[in-house]
Structures are given as structure tokens and as C-alpha cells.
Structure 1
Amino acid sequence: MPVSALLTYTLVALVAVVTPGLDTMLMLRHTLLGGRRAGFRALTGINLGCLVWGTASIAGLTALLAASRIAYDVVRIGGAAYLLWLGGSALWRSFRHQVPDAEVIVEPGRGALRAGLVTNLLNPKVGVFYLSLLPQFLPAGSGQAAWGALLVFVHVALGWAWMSTVLLLANQARRFLMRTAVKRWLDRLTATVLIGLGVRIATESR
């Protein structure tokens, strides 16, 4: 692969990474409401999902999403339903209970990692992104799987570096958001955004 092609891919991947989206929103929610550790767990789950999508793209499995409207819609509706469940359950808890200072309305432990992983895997646009981008930068001939793995790694590494920076900055801002009332309304706001994203994914076309 020419160096110029690799640099071009890196630039395109960087633009995709720094553009705020569902993964960024989910990571910020866990960071602001659960702390740095919860944020990194969610970020780890997101990047594991990217690795799964990237591997599936190299193996050709995500071609099914591009070729089959039914397969794409199944994943899309599943992702929308999961987002609606995440946002709806958070809203229900925030209105039903008074939130003590030590409590946050996010899933502790492996829950943040699971939320990041499942949300990413149920977002078919991640698979379509890899499927549409990788073939344009793979060299002809043998070794395409190895080059494809390198391109996926570059994208995941850029995502980890950028979102880790955003996460650490958000964690610093968290010090000003620890009062009970602020946390409660912040959770309601982010939960509402998740519901909105779920509705958008459910109703949008390919």
C-alpha cells in the first residue's frame, strides 16, 4: 500500500472519529454520570464493537448489510429498540427515585462495557462505514486481509486516542456536575437524547 493512500485513509478515519455521534454520546453519559472508570469501560466496549465490525468487514460478512434491506433493517430496528430501552429506563429511574449524592443512574461494572459494545454492534452504519471505505484503500493482489486489519487498527487507535481525550476533559468538568439536582437533570437530558437517537435510527432510511 502506498504511503499516500495510508495517509489519506488516516485523514478520512480521523474526520469520522472526531465527528460526534452515538458512540461519543454514550461514552460522555457514562463518564459524566459514572466517572472516569465507567467512561473507559463504555469506550472499551465501543472499540470492541468496532473490532468486531472491522473483522466482519474483512471477512465479507457485512456485505449482507449492504445487499439486503431486511438484514440492515433488522440490525437498525434492534439498535433503535436498545437505545429506547436505555433512555427510557434511565428516565423512569430518574423520576421515580430521589438520587443520593453517592448514586448515579448508569450501570456500574461491566454494564458500561456491555452498553458500549451492544450499542456499537447494533449500529449497522459502523459496518457499512467499513465496507464502503476499506475496499477503496486495499491494494490489489495478495495480503488484503493483513492490510485490512491494519486499516481497522488505525481507525480504532484514532478513536481510542480522540475519545480518551474527550473523556478525560469531560471527567474534569464532572467535578462541577456532582450535585444531586444537576446529576438528576443531566441524566434526564442524556436519556432524552438517547431516546431521540433511537427514534431517529428507527425512522430513517438507509
Structure 2
Amino acid sequence: MTFETWIAFAAASAVLLIIPGPTIVLVVSYALGQGWRSALPVSIGVALGDFTAMTLSMLGVGAILAASATVFTALKFLGAGYLIYLGIKLFRSGGTLDVAPRTDAASTAKMIGHAWVVTALNPKSITFFVAFLPQFLDRHGDFATQMVIFEATFLILAFANAAGYALVASRARGMVRSPGAIGLFNKAGGTLLIGAGVATASMRSAS
């Protein structure tokens, strides 16, 4: 794996993580209802959930890599198309984040478990990783080493992203409920995703 590949993976992962989805809605709902104290447990839960989904996905991708070079290459192009699709969808999503504060008394263990379940057991998570990861894997490199590097990178970013959302939601609640701010955020993220997909497809077709 080259340093450029790792940087590309980290950059694409960072953009993908900040897209509001079920996990982010849960993080923000806890933060709005229970304040900054929810940041650490929900961030831990999100990281554990992503670890579960990503490990299962990587094992599946590894099996595809070992079985068929053609299928693995096709999966790379599908992944690039998937990034473009996500970018267009995000760009057109507008400025809504439908979230209600969670005011029920929740222990640290409950918040960790809830965030883990929502993140890990969402079928879209595994589907996403299967489509996303092959773009950055080197078929001729050591798969186990790449798996460790990619998972560690993604989990650190996932933890930081969840913690950031929780802290912002608990300190600047108006921002996460502002259609203008969210709309601008979505358009910027969508543009970056589309660019990442196009760049990835171009690199693969030229190789």
C-alpha cells in the first residue's frame, strides 16, 4: 500500500463519515437531550459498531479477492460509482436533519450498546464497506496488514467524527437544526464525494 492510497482512503472516509445517517441522528439526539456527557459513550459505541461491520466486510472482500480477480476489479468500479451516487444524493438532500432529543435516563453502558447496535446492525453499513474498500486494496499486498491499517484509520476517524457531532450538538444546538447550515454542509460534502468517485474511476481505468 502506498502513502497516497492511504491518504486517499483517509480523506474519502472522513467525507463519508460526516454524512448524516442513522448513527449521526442517534449521536445528535443523545447530545441534544443529555449534553456533552453523552459524547464519549456514544463515540465508543459508534467505533465498536463500525469495527464490527468493517471486519465482516473486509473478510468478505478478502474472500472475493482470493476467488476472482475479475470480480474484485468490477467491485472497484462499482465502488467508484457508489461514491458518485452518494455524492449526488447528499448534494440534493436539502437542509433537514430530523432528530428529537433523547431525554430518557440512559446509563453509559446503554448508550454504548445502543450506538453499537445502530451502527453495526444496519445492513447498509456492510454493503457500504464491501463497495467502498476494494478501491483502495492492493491485490498483491499483504491483506492482513492492509486490513489492520484501514480499520485503525477508519475507527479513529469514526470516533472523532461522532465525538465532534456530539460536542457541537450539545454546545451549539442551533447549528445542527439550521436548514441553511446543514444544506451548505450537504452540498459541500456531496461535491467532495462526487469528485472522489470520478477521481477513483479515472485512476482505475488508467491502471
Structure 2 equivalent of residue 9 of structure 1: 9
Would you say the 8 A contact 2:38–2:166 is kept in 1?
Answer: no
Q: Which amino acid is the alignment partner of residue 168 of structure 2?
A: L
Matches of 1:171 and 1:62, distance apart in 2:
40
TM-score by length of 2: 0.59
The within-5 A match list for 1:47-196 is: 47-60=47-60, 104-173=103-172
Please give the per-residue CA displacement for 1:78-115, whole angstroms capped at 9, x wherever unaligned: xxxxxxxxxxxxx9xx9xxxxxxxx9325223111111
Secondary structure at the counterpart of residue 19 of structure 1: coil
Matches of 1:61 and 1:140, distance apart in 2:
11
The alpha-carbon deviation at position 162 of structure 1 amounts to: 2.4
The alpha-carbon deviation at position 30 of structure 1 amounts to: 1.0
Matches of 1:26 and 1:62, distance apart in 2:
31
Would you say the 8 A contact 2:46–2:158 is kept in 1?
Answer: no
Name segments (4+ residues, structure 1) moved above 4 Å: 61-64
Tell me which structure has the larger Cα radius of gyration: 1
Matches of 1:47 and 1:117, distance apart in 2:
8
Structure 2 equivalent of residue 195 of structure 1: none
Matches of 1:54 and 1:104, distance apart in 2:
31
Would you say the 8 A contact 2:45–2:113 is kept in 1?
Answer: yes
Q: Which amino acid is the alignment partner of residue 126 of structure 2?
A: G
Identity, % of aligned pairs? Answer: 24
Q: Which amino acid is the alignment partner of residue 53 of structure 2?
A: W
Matches of 1:61 and 1:116, distance apart in 2:
25
Matches of 2:63 and 2:129, distance apart in 1:
10
Would you say the 8 A contact 1:58–1:149 is kept in 2?
Answer: no
User: Structure 1 residues 62 and 46 mapped into 2: Cα distance closer, same or farther (>3 Å)?
Assistant: farther
The alpha-carbon deviation at position 24 of structure 1 amounts to: 0.8
The alpha-carbon deviation at position 157 of structure 1 amounts to: 1.3
Secondary structure at the counterpart of residue 35 of structure 1: helix
Matches of 2:105 and 2:61, distance apart in 1:
33
The alpha-carbon deviation at position 57 of structure 1 amounts to: 1.7
Aligned residues: 139
Would you say the 8 A contact 1:54–1:149 is kept in 2?
Answer: no
Matches of 2:127 and 2:10, distance apart in 1:
18
Matches of 1:41 and 1:63, distance apart in 2:
33
Structure 2 equivalent of residue 19 of structure 1: 19
Would you say the 8 A contact 2:42–2:162 is kept in 1?
Answer: no
Secondary structure at the counterpart of residue 5 of structure 1: helix
Would you say the 8 A contact 1:55–1:149 is kept in 2?
Answer: no
Matches of 1:142 and 1:10, distance apart in 2:
18
Matches of 1:63 and 1:148, distance apart in 2:
13
TM-score by length of 1: 0.59
User: Structure 1 residues 145 and 171 mapped into 2: Cα distance closer, same or farther (>3 Å)?
Assistant: same
Would you say the 8 A contact 1:28–1:39 is kept in 2?
Answer: no
